[in-house]
Structure 1
Amino acid sequence: MRIREASEKKMAEAVSPITRQVYSEHRAVRSPSVDFRLEDVEDCLIYDRHGVSDPFKKLYQDRKSVIIFVRNFLCYSCKEYVEDLSKIPKEALEDADIRLVVIGQSAHHHIEPFCSLTGYPHEIYVDPERCIYQKLGMKREEKFTDSANPSPHVKSGIFMGQMKSIWRAMTSPAFDFQGDLHQQGGAIIAGPGSHVHFSHFDMNRLDHMPINWLLQLAGVQQTLDFSDKPKIVHV
Protein backbone atom coordinates (compact mmCIF):
# COMPACT_ATOMS: atom_id res chain seq x y z
CA MET A 1 0.00 0.00 0.00
CA ARG A 2 2.79 2.40 0.93
CA ILE A 3 4.61 1.56 -2.30
CA ARG A 4 1.45 2.36 -4.28
CA GLU A 5 0.93 5.69 -2.45
CA ALA A 6 4.55 6.65 -3.02
CA SER A 7 4.22 5.79 -6.71
CA GLU A 8 1.03 7.86 -7.08
CA LYS A 9 2.64 10.78 -5.27
CA LYS A 10 5.67 10.63 -7.55
CA MET A 11 3.44 10.59 -10.63
CA ALA A 12 1.44 13.57 -9.37
CA GLU A 13 4.63 15.56 -8.77
CA ALA A 14 5.82 14.74 -12.28
CA VAL A 15 2.73 16.25 -13.93
CA SER A 16 3.42 19.82 -15.01
CA PRO A 17 0.87 22.64 -15.01
CA ILE A 18 -1.05 22.95 -18.27
CA THR A 19 0.94 25.94 -19.53
CA ARG A 20 4.26 24.16 -19.05
CA GLN A 21 2.90 20.99 -20.63
CA VAL A 22 1.68 22.83 -23.72
CA TYR A 23 4.94 24.77 -23.93
CA SER A 24 7.26 21.77 -23.74
CA GLU A 25 5.24 19.53 -26.06
CA HIS A 26 4.70 22.25 -28.60
CA ARG A 27 8.30 23.39 -28.74
CA ALA A 28 9.65 19.86 -28.85
CA VAL A 29 7.51 18.93 -31.84
CA ARG A 30 7.11 22.14 -33.76
CA SER A 31 9.97 24.52 -33.15
CA PRO A 32 13.65 24.33 -32.16
CA SER A 33 15.01 26.48 -29.35
CA VAL A 34 15.81 30.00 -30.53
CA ASP A 35 18.03 32.41 -28.65
CA PHE A 36 17.52 36.13 -29.19
CA ARG A 37 17.42 39.39 -27.27
CA LEU A 38 14.58 41.86 -27.62
CA GLU A 39 17.11 44.62 -27.01
CA ASP A 40 18.42 43.89 -30.51
CA VAL A 41 15.11 44.82 -32.12
CA GLU A 42 13.57 47.30 -29.70
CA ASP A 43 14.37 50.30 -31.91
CA CYS A 44 13.22 48.73 -35.19
CA LEU A 45 10.38 50.79 -36.61
CA ILE A 46 6.85 49.49 -37.06
CA TYR A 47 4.14 51.38 -38.97
CA ASP A 48 0.41 51.67 -38.35
CA ARG A 49 -2.31 51.86 -41.01
CA HIS A 50 -1.69 55.60 -41.42
CA GLY A 51 2.06 55.19 -41.97
CA VAL A 52 2.95 56.56 -38.53
CA SER A 53 6.05 54.88 -37.11
CA ASP A 54 6.91 53.78 -33.57
CA PRO A 55 9.75 51.72 -32.10
CA PHE A 56 8.94 48.02 -31.70
CA LYS A 57 9.50 48.23 -27.93
CA LYS A 58 6.34 50.32 -27.61
CA LEU A 59 4.31 47.10 -27.94
CA TYR A 60 5.65 45.35 -24.83
CA GLN A 61 7.35 47.98 -22.67
CA ASP A 62 4.50 48.55 -20.23
CA ARG A 63 2.40 45.41 -20.67
CA LYS A 64 2.56 41.75 -21.56
CA SER A 65 1.89 41.31 -25.28
CA VAL A 66 1.10 38.43 -27.59
CA ILE A 67 2.74 39.39 -30.89
CA ILE A 68 1.96 37.42 -34.05
CA PHE A 69 4.18 37.78 -37.12
CA VAL A 70 2.43 36.73 -40.35
CA ARG A 71 4.03 35.70 -43.65
CA ASN A 72 2.31 38.15 -45.97
CA PHE A 73 -1.16 39.62 -46.21
CA LEU A 74 -2.03 37.62 -49.33
CA CYS A 75 -1.09 34.28 -47.75
CA TYR A 76 -4.29 32.23 -47.42
CA SER A 77 -3.13 30.48 -44.22
CA CYS A 78 -2.29 33.81 -42.57
CA LYS A 79 -5.66 35.21 -43.61
CA GLU A 80 -7.52 32.28 -42.06
CA TYR A 81 -5.37 32.39 -38.92
CA VAL A 82 -6.05 36.10 -38.45
CA GLU A 83 -9.75 35.49 -39.07
CA ASP A 84 -9.70 33.28 -35.98
CA LEU A 85 -7.66 35.86 -34.05
CA SER A 86 -10.47 38.30 -34.82
CA LYS A 87 -12.87 36.11 -32.81
CA ILE A 88 -11.00 36.77 -29.56
CA PRO A 89 -13.19 39.07 -27.40
CA LYS A 90 -11.51 42.28 -26.28
CA GLU A 91 -12.86 41.57 -22.81
CA ALA A 92 -10.79 38.37 -22.56
CA LEU A 93 -7.63 40.34 -23.34
CA GLU A 94 -8.54 43.17 -20.99
CA ASP A 95 -9.27 40.77 -18.11
CA ALA A 96 -5.80 39.24 -18.53
CA ASP A 97 -4.25 42.70 -19.05
CA ILE A 98 -2.50 41.70 -22.28
CA ARG A 99 -2.22 43.18 -25.76
CA LEU A 100 -2.76 41.20 -28.95
CA VAL A 101 -0.76 42.48 -31.91
CA VAL A 102 -0.38 41.27 -35.50
CA ILE A 103 2.66 42.35 -37.51
CA GLY A 104 2.95 41.97 -41.26
CA GLN A 105 5.79 42.80 -43.64
CA SER A 106 3.99 44.74 -46.35
CA ALA A 107 3.58 48.46 -46.98
CA HIS A 108 1.28 50.15 -44.47
CA HIS A 109 -1.48 50.84 -47.04
CA HIS A 110 -2.28 47.12 -47.14
CA ILE A 111 -3.32 47.07 -43.47
CA GLU A 112 -6.80 48.52 -43.91
CA PRO A 113 -7.91 46.14 -46.69
CA PHE A 114 -6.53 43.15 -44.75
CA CYS A 115 -8.47 44.12 -41.62
CA SER A 116 -11.64 44.60 -43.68
CA LEU A 117 -11.13 41.18 -45.25
CA THR A 118 -10.49 39.30 -41.99
CA GLY A 119 -12.61 41.36 -39.60
CA TYR A 120 -9.56 41.77 -37.36
CA PRO A 121 -10.30 44.46 -34.71
CA HIS A 122 -7.14 44.39 -32.57
CA GLU A 123 -3.76 46.12 -32.98
CA ILE A 124 -1.87 45.63 -36.24
CA TYR A 125 1.37 47.05 -37.67
CA VAL A 126 3.85 46.34 -40.44
CA ASP A 127 7.61 45.90 -40.63
CA PRO A 128 8.14 46.61 -44.36
CA GLU A 129 11.93 46.28 -44.21
CA ARG A 130 11.62 42.96 -42.30
CA CYS A 131 14.04 44.36 -39.72
CA ILE A 132 12.44 42.47 -36.81
CA TYR A 133 11.90 39.28 -38.80
CA GLN A 134 15.57 39.16 -39.77
CA LYS A 135 17.11 40.15 -36.45
CA LEU A 136 14.98 37.67 -34.52
CA GLY A 137 16.09 34.94 -36.92
CA MET A 138 12.71 34.05 -38.40
CA LYS A 139 13.02 31.56 -41.20
CA ARG A 140 12.94 32.09 -44.95
CA GLU A 141 11.78 29.23 -47.12
CA GLU A 142 9.55 26.45 -45.84
CA LYS A 143 10.41 23.18 -44.12
CA PHE A 144 7.80 20.43 -43.89
CA THR A 145 8.32 17.45 -41.57
CA ASP A 146 6.22 14.42 -40.75
CA SER A 147 6.09 15.42 -37.07
CA ALA A 148 4.84 18.97 -37.67
CA ASN A 149 1.20 19.48 -36.74
CA PRO A 150 -0.85 21.48 -39.27
CA SER A 151 -2.55 24.61 -38.02
CA PRO A 152 -6.06 23.94 -36.71
CA HIS A 153 -6.99 27.42 -37.91
CA VAL A 154 -6.36 26.83 -41.63
CA LYS A 155 -9.40 25.41 -43.38
CA SER A 156 -8.30 25.60 -47.03
CA GLY A 157 -6.16 22.99 -48.76
CA ILE A 158 -2.79 24.07 -50.17
CA PHE A 159 -3.88 24.07 -53.84
CA MET A 160 -7.13 25.98 -53.34
CA GLY A 161 -5.48 28.27 -50.80
CA GLN A 162 -2.74 29.23 -53.24
CA MET A 163 -5.29 29.84 -55.97
CA LYS A 164 -7.19 32.18 -53.64
CA SER A 165 -3.97 34.06 -52.85
CA ILE A 166 -3.12 34.48 -56.54
CA TRP A 167 -6.65 35.67 -57.32
CA ARG A 168 -6.51 38.25 -54.53
CA ALA A 169 -3.15 39.48 -55.86
CA MET A 170 -4.53 39.79 -59.40
CA THR A 171 -7.66 41.64 -58.32
CA SER A 172 -6.06 43.98 -55.77
CA PRO A 173 -5.59 47.66 -56.77
CA ALA A 174 -1.81 47.30 -56.52
CA PHE A 175 -0.67 43.97 -57.96
CA ASP A 176 1.86 42.65 -55.45
CA PHE A 177 2.13 39.85 -52.92
CA GLN A 178 2.17 42.26 -49.97
CA GLY A 179 5.43 40.98 -48.53
CA ASP A 180 8.28 38.55 -49.18
CA LEU A 181 6.71 35.24 -50.27
CA HIS A 182 9.56 33.23 -48.74
CA GLN A 183 9.41 34.84 -45.29
CA GLN A 184 7.91 32.76 -42.49
CA GLY A 185 6.25 34.18 -39.39
CA GLY A 186 6.02 33.29 -35.72
CA ALA A 187 4.75 34.34 -32.32
CA ILE A 188 6.28 35.72 -29.14
CA ILE A 189 4.90 36.62 -25.73
CA ALA A 190 6.90 39.46 -24.21
CA GLY A 191 6.78 42.17 -21.56
CA PRO A 192 6.51 44.14 -19.47
CA GLY A 193 10.06 45.17 -20.30
CA SER A 194 12.31 43.01 -22.46
CA HIS A 195 11.44 39.68 -20.86
CA VAL A 196 10.43 36.98 -23.37
CA HIS A 197 7.98 34.47 -21.88
CA PHE A 198 7.59 32.33 -24.99
CA SER A 199 8.59 32.19 -28.63
CA HIS A 200 7.67 30.05 -31.61
CA PHE A 201 9.03 30.56 -35.13
CA ASP A 202 7.04 28.93 -37.90
CA MET A 203 8.68 26.26 -40.03
CA ASN A 204 6.13 26.64 -42.83
CA ARG A 205 2.81 28.29 -43.70
CA LEU A 206 0.80 25.78 -41.61
CA ASP A 207 3.02 25.79 -38.52
CA HIS A 208 1.02 28.32 -36.51
CA MET A 209 0.91 28.25 -32.74
CA PRO A 210 -2.68 27.23 -31.79
CA ILE A 211 -4.40 30.36 -30.53
CA ASN A 212 -5.85 28.86 -27.34
CA TRP A 213 -2.39 27.61 -26.35
CA LEU A 214 -0.94 31.09 -26.89
CA LEU A 215 -3.68 32.69 -24.85
CA GLN A 216 -3.22 30.18 -22.01
CA LEU A 217 0.51 30.83 -21.94
CA ALA A 218 -0.15 34.57 -21.79
CA GLY A 219 -2.58 34.20 -18.88
CA VAL A 220 -6.01 34.29 -20.54
CA GLN A 221 -8.39 32.11 -18.53
CA GLN A 222 -11.11 31.81 -21.16
CA THR A 223 -10.97 28.93 -23.67
CA LEU A 224 -12.39 29.85 -27.06
CA ASP A 225 -14.03 27.65 -29.69
CA PHE A 226 -12.58 28.22 -33.17
CA SER A 227 -14.17 25.19 -34.80
CA ASP A 228 -16.59 25.51 -37.69
CA LYS A 229 -19.89 24.58 -36.12
CA PRO A 230 -22.59 23.14 -38.40
CA LYS A 231 -25.36 25.57 -39.21
CA ILE A 232 -29.06 24.78 -39.57
CA VAL A 233 -30.44 25.94 -42.87
CA HIS A 234 -34.21 26.47 -43.01
CA VAL A 235 -35.78 25.63 -46.38
Structure 2
Amino acid sequence: MSRPPQCPVVQQLRPVSVAPRPELAELREAAYCLVVDADGSRIPFGALYRRQKAIVVFVRNFLCYTCKEYVEDLAKVPRSYLQEANVRLIVIGQSSYHHIKPFCSLTGYTHEMYVDPQREIYKMLGMKRGEGNDVSGNEVHFLHHDRNRLDHVPINSVLQLAGVKTVNFTNKPQIIDV
Protein backbone atom coordinates (compact mmCIF):
# COMPACT_ATOMS: atom_id res chain seq x y z
CA MET A 1 0.00 0.00 0.00
CA SER A 2 1.30 3.40 -0.82
CA ARG A 3 0.97 6.30 1.52
CA PRO A 4 -0.69 9.53 0.46
CA PRO A 5 1.84 12.25 -0.40
CA GLN A 6 2.86 14.47 2.47
CA CYS A 7 1.92 18.12 2.37
CA PRO A 8 4.79 20.53 1.78
CA VAL A 9 6.12 22.59 4.67
CA VAL A 10 4.49 26.00 4.50
CA GLN A 11 5.85 27.66 7.62
CA GLN A 12 9.23 28.20 9.18
CA LEU A 13 10.17 25.40 11.55
CA ARG A 14 12.33 27.43 13.91
CA PRO A 15 11.51 30.92 15.12
CA VAL A 16 13.39 33.88 13.71
CA SER A 17 15.51 35.29 16.49
CA VAL A 18 17.40 38.50 16.87
CA ALA A 19 21.10 37.87 17.24
CA PRO A 20 23.02 39.77 19.89
CA ARG A 21 24.52 42.97 18.56
CA PRO A 22 27.99 42.06 17.38
CA GLU A 23 31.16 44.13 17.38
CA LEU A 24 30.75 47.72 16.26
CA ALA A 25 34.38 47.68 15.08
CA GLU A 26 33.55 45.16 12.34
CA LEU A 27 30.86 47.43 10.91
CA ARG A 28 33.11 50.48 11.10
CA GLU A 29 35.80 48.63 9.19
CA ALA A 30 33.36 47.19 6.62
CA ALA A 31 31.80 50.63 6.10
CA TYR A 32 34.97 51.75 4.30
CA CYS A 33 34.97 48.80 1.89
CA LEU A 34 33.77 49.63 -1.57
CA VAL A 35 30.81 48.02 -3.26
CA VAL A 36 30.26 48.36 -6.99
CA ASP A 37 27.00 49.28 -8.72
CA ALA A 38 25.72 48.08 -12.10
CA ASP A 39 27.63 50.83 -13.93
CA GLY A 40 30.95 50.04 -12.26
CA SER A 41 30.89 52.99 -9.85
CA ARG A 42 32.45 52.32 -6.45
CA ILE A 43 30.59 53.39 -3.31
CA PRO A 44 31.57 52.94 0.35
CA PHE A 45 29.40 50.24 1.92
CA GLY A 46 28.63 52.54 4.87
CA ALA A 47 27.06 55.11 2.55
CA LEU A 48 24.28 52.62 1.83
CA TYR A 49 22.91 52.70 5.37
CA ARG A 50 24.48 55.73 7.05
CA ARG A 51 21.65 58.24 6.50
CA GLN A 52 18.65 55.96 6.08
CA LYS A 53 17.44 52.67 7.49
CA ALA A 54 18.29 49.86 5.09
CA ILE A 55 17.57 46.19 4.65
CA VAL A 56 20.78 44.73 3.27
CA VAL A 57 20.63 41.20 1.92
CA PHE A 58 23.88 39.44 1.05
CA VAL A 59 23.38 36.62 -1.45
CA ARG A 60 25.73 33.67 -1.91
CA ASN A 61 26.08 34.17 -5.64
CA PHE A 62 24.04 34.93 -8.70
CA LEU A 63 24.15 31.29 -9.83
CA CYS A 64 22.53 29.97 -6.65
CA TYR A 65 18.99 28.90 -7.50
CA THR A 66 17.59 29.54 -4.00
CA CYS A 67 19.24 32.99 -3.93
CA LYS A 68 17.64 33.71 -7.31
CA GLU A 69 14.22 32.73 -5.95
CA TYR A 70 14.75 34.84 -2.83
CA VAL A 71 15.64 37.88 -4.94
CA GLU A 72 12.60 37.21 -7.15
CA ASP A 73 10.48 37.45 -4.00
CA LEU A 74 12.32 40.60 -2.86
CA ALA A 75 11.42 42.07 -6.26
CA LYS A 76 7.74 41.79 -5.25
CA VAL A 77 8.17 44.30 -2.41
CA PRO A 78 6.47 47.45 -3.69
CA ARG A 79 8.66 50.54 -3.86
CA SER A 80 5.79 52.47 -2.23
CA TYR A 81 6.00 50.26 0.90
CA LEU A 82 9.71 51.04 1.24
CA GLN A 83 9.21 54.76 0.62
CA GLU A 84 6.38 54.92 3.14
CA ALA A 85 8.67 53.41 5.81
CA ASN A 86 11.74 55.38 4.57
CA VAL A 87 13.71 52.14 4.11
CA ARG A 88 16.15 51.14 1.37
CA LEU A 89 16.17 47.55 0.08
CA ILE A 90 19.64 46.53 -1.04
CA VAL A 91 21.01 43.24 -2.36
CA ILE A 92 24.76 42.64 -2.39
CA GLY A 93 26.31 39.80 -4.35
CA GLN A 94 29.86 38.58 -4.69
CA SER A 95 30.41 38.72 -8.41
CA SER A 96 31.53 41.16 -11.07
CA TYR A 97 29.37 44.23 -11.55
CA HIS A 98 28.80 43.07 -15.13
CA HIS A 99 26.45 40.42 -13.73
CA ILE A 100 24.13 42.85 -11.92
CA LYS A 101 21.96 43.95 -14.86
CA PRO A 102 21.45 40.41 -16.23
CA PHE A 103 20.59 39.13 -12.73
CA CYS A 104 18.11 41.97 -12.17
CA SER A 105 16.58 41.25 -15.57
CA LEU A 106 16.33 37.55 -14.75
CA THR A 107 14.73 38.11 -11.32
CA GLY A 108 12.67 41.23 -12.02
CA TYR A 109 14.47 42.99 -9.16
CA THR A 110 14.33 46.81 -9.52
CA HIS A 111 15.63 47.93 -6.13
CA GLU A 112 19.28 48.64 -5.37
CA MET A 113 21.91 46.00 -6.10
CA TYR A 114 25.68 46.07 -5.64
CA VAL A 115 28.53 43.59 -5.62
CA ASP A 116 31.49 42.96 -3.33
CA PRO A 117 33.75 41.31 -5.92
CA GLN A 118 36.66 40.67 -3.54
CA ARG A 119 34.36 39.43 -0.73
CA GLU A 120 35.93 41.97 1.67
CA ILE A 121 32.66 42.77 3.46
CA TYR A 122 31.60 39.13 3.49
CA LYS A 123 34.84 38.21 5.26
CA MET A 124 34.75 41.12 7.73
CA LEU A 125 31.20 40.34 8.78
CA GLY A 126 31.96 36.66 9.27
CA MET A 127 30.22 35.21 6.23
CA LYS A 128 31.98 32.08 5.07
CA ARG A 129 31.90 29.93 1.99
CA GLY A 130 29.93 26.72 2.25
CA GLU A 131 26.88 25.78 4.25
CA GLY A 132 27.66 26.89 7.82
CA ASN A 133 28.37 30.22 9.48
CA ASP A 134 29.29 31.39 12.94
CA VAL A 135 27.29 34.31 14.29
CA SER A 136 29.35 37.47 14.06
CA GLY A 137 28.53 41.03 13.08
CA ASN A 138 28.12 44.72 13.59
CA GLU A 139 25.77 47.47 14.73
CA VAL A 140 22.63 46.02 13.26
CA HIS A 141 19.12 45.58 14.55
CA PHE A 142 18.71 42.12 13.10
CA LEU A 143 21.30 39.64 11.86
CA HIS A 144 20.73 36.26 10.31
CA HIS A 145 23.42 34.08 8.77
CA ASP A 146 22.02 31.26 6.70
CA ARG A 147 23.07 27.87 8.02
CA ASN A 148 22.68 26.51 4.50
CA ARG A 149 21.41 27.61 1.11
CA LEU A 150 17.79 26.96 2.11
CA ASP A 151 17.86 28.87 5.40
CA HIS A 152 16.72 32.29 4.19
CA VAL A 153 14.74 34.40 6.64
CA PRO A 154 11.14 34.90 5.54
CA ILE A 155 10.99 38.25 3.78
CA ASN A 156 7.92 39.39 5.71
CA SER A 157 9.80 38.85 9.01
CA VAL A 158 12.55 41.18 7.81
CA LEU A 159 10.06 43.73 6.50
CA GLN A 160 8.20 43.75 9.84
CA LEU A 161 11.43 44.30 11.77
CA ALA A 162 12.23 47.27 9.53
CA GLY A 163 8.74 48.76 9.89
CA VAL A 164 7.72 48.02 6.29
CA LYS A 165 4.28 46.66 5.34
CA THR A 166 4.29 42.95 4.62
CA VAL A 167 3.67 41.50 1.17
CA ASN A 168 1.24 38.78 0.12
CA PHE A 169 3.44 36.26 -1.71
CA THR A 170 0.71 33.77 -2.53
CA ASN A 171 -0.23 33.33 -6.14
CA LYS A 172 -3.83 32.63 -5.21
CA PRO A 173 -6.38 35.27 -6.18
CA GLN A 174 -7.75 37.02 -3.16
CA ILE A 175 -11.48 36.88 -2.56
CA ILE A 176 -12.94 40.07 -1.24
CA ASP A 177 -16.27 39.71 0.54
CA VAL A 178 -18.60 42.51 -0.47
TM-score, normalized by the shorter chain, greater than 0.5: yes
4+ runs deviating over 3 angstroms: none
1:202 counterpart = 2:140 = no
1:39 counterpart = 2:28 = yes
1:26 counterpart = 2:13 = no
The one-letter code of the counterpart of 1:48 is D
1:74 counterpart = 2:63 = yes
Which stretch shows the higher mean deviation, 32-41 or 114-123? 32-41
Match in the other structure for 1:162: none
- Could you tell me how far apart the structure 2 residues matched to 1:26 and 1:213 are? 8
Match in the other structure for 1:99: 88
- Could you tell me how far apart the structure 2 residues matched to 1:135 and 1:39 are? 10
SS at match of 1:139: coil
The one-letter code of the counterpart of 1:116 is S
Which of these residues, 143, 163, 166, is aligned with residue 219 of structure 1? 163
How far did 1:33 drift?
A: 5.0
Larger Rg: 1
How far did 1:140 drift?
A: 2.1
> What is the percentage of aligned positions where both structures have the same residue?
55
**Could you tell me whether the CA contact under 8 Å between 1:27 and 1:33 is conserved in 2?**
no
Q: CA RMSD in A?
A: 2.3
**Could you tell me whether the CA contact under 8 Å between 2:21 and 2:139 is conserved in 1?**
no
How far did 1:43 drift?
A: 0.4
How far did 1:223 drift?
A: 2.2
**Could you tell me whether the CA contact under 8 Å between 2:21 and 2:141 is conserved in 1?**
no
SS at match of 2:51: coil
User: TM-score with structure 2 length normalisation?
Assistant: 0.81
Which structure 2 residues correspond to residues 53-132 of structure 1 after superposition, within 5 A?
A: 53-132=42-121
How far did 1:60 drift?
A: 0.6
Q: 1:138 to 1:33 in 2, by over 3 A?
A: farther
The one-letter code of the counterpart of 1:137 is G
How far did 1:138 drift?
A: 1.1
After superposition, what is the alpha-carbon deviation per residue over 1:129-180, rounded to whole angstroms, capped at 9, x for unaligned?
000000000132114xxxxxxxxxxxxxxxxxxxxxxxxxxxxxxxxxxxxx
Consecutive unaligned residues of structure 2, counting only runs of 5 or more, are 1-13, 174-178
Kindly indicate which of the two structures has a greater share of residues assigned to helix.
1
| Aligned residue pairs, count | 156
The one-letter code of the counterpart of 1:84 is D
SS at match of 2:66: helix
SS at match of 1:197: coil
SS at match of 1:67: strand
How far did 1:195 drift?
A: 4.2
The one-letter code of the counterpart of 1:227 is T
SS at match of 2:104: helix
